[in-house]
Amino acid sequence: MRAEQVTDACTEHGEGPVWDTASGVLRFVDMLAGAVLAFDPVTGQLTRSQVADVAAALRPRRSGGWVLATERGFALLEPGDLESPDDAEPVWIEAFTDEAIRMNDGGADPQGRFYCGTMAYRQDPGRGTLYRLDPDRTVHEVLTGLTVSNGLSWTPDGAHAYFVDSPTKRVDVFDFDAAAGTLHDRRPFVTVPTGTPDGLTIDADGGVWVALYGAGVVHRYDPSGTLDLVVEVPVSQTTSCAFVDRDLFVTTTREGLAEGAEPRAGALFHVRPGVRGLTPFGFAG
């Protein structure tokens, strides 16, 4: 299948798409620019809000508003803050202080906790950590010794979580302790044949969709780990993907590209692959 472009090249480093069921728009980030964008799939309207120095990943809050992973912590946003960021007064929660490290990608579990993993700006091996923000606003380390912590998503039954540490060239799967919010018994799910695994999502049938940075594709693996669908994207650096019911949207980046190369890089792309996605889990805090 081939994805079609639905926006201009609107990000330098597009990442982290998530469906906003309340507003009927797809939210995604221009990560290192600290911006959150909203795309209306009905009208095609695209808006952009400057929210922080770094906007790494976001998920809806069950009470309304958003939780956002920033450069070194989290921000709790109220309803309307993304539309009027100049008037927003977020709650800022620090996770760590090392200025050589930044947040990168994450997701929420079925119980309403929010996770985001880190990486060193220089991608030094082993310096990344996966953090968990609990509804009581406390921060906990879940995994250490990572390099580029990336895609994270839970199975429809909540029993397992899929995770990417990009330099491993793998998607791994964990058993998930729902009571404690911890990940156990890590094992390889798939080793990708091309590119570098980046962001991922899971569909209602348990299929795992992973964007392969550098390869210009998104792969779908069935629950047994068999590759059964490839979505081609007309730029090389695909970064993440998310469903809006039966529509899959793919973010891309211009990171490291020469001036004038791949003019569509940084745009948002779309395909309808014939399966249904899951409603994103919200943060309970």
Classify burial at 177, counting beta carbons within 10 Å of its beta carbon; exposed 0-12, middle 13-18, buried 19 or more: exposed
Q: Which amino acid is at 73?
A: G
Report, in angstroms and rounded to the nearest whole number, the Rg of the chain calculated over CA atoms.
17
Shortest CA distance to 36 belongs to which of 4, 73, 84, 72? 84
User: Is there a contact between 4 and 232 (Cβ–Cβ < 8 Å)?
Assistant: no
Q: Please indicate whether residue 222 is annotated as part of the active site.
A: no
User: Is there a contact between 211 and 250 (Cβ–Cβ < 8 Å)?
Assistant: yes
User: CA-CA distance, 28 to 38, in Å (whole number)?
Assistant: 7
**Residues 6+ positions from 142 with CB-CB distance below 8 Å:** 115, 129, 130, 131, 132, 181, 182, 183
Which residue among the candidates 30, 81, 109, 198 is catalytic per the annotation?
198
User: CA-CA distance, 254 to 11, in Å (whole number)?
Assistant: 8
Q: Would you name the residues annotated as active-site residues? A: 198
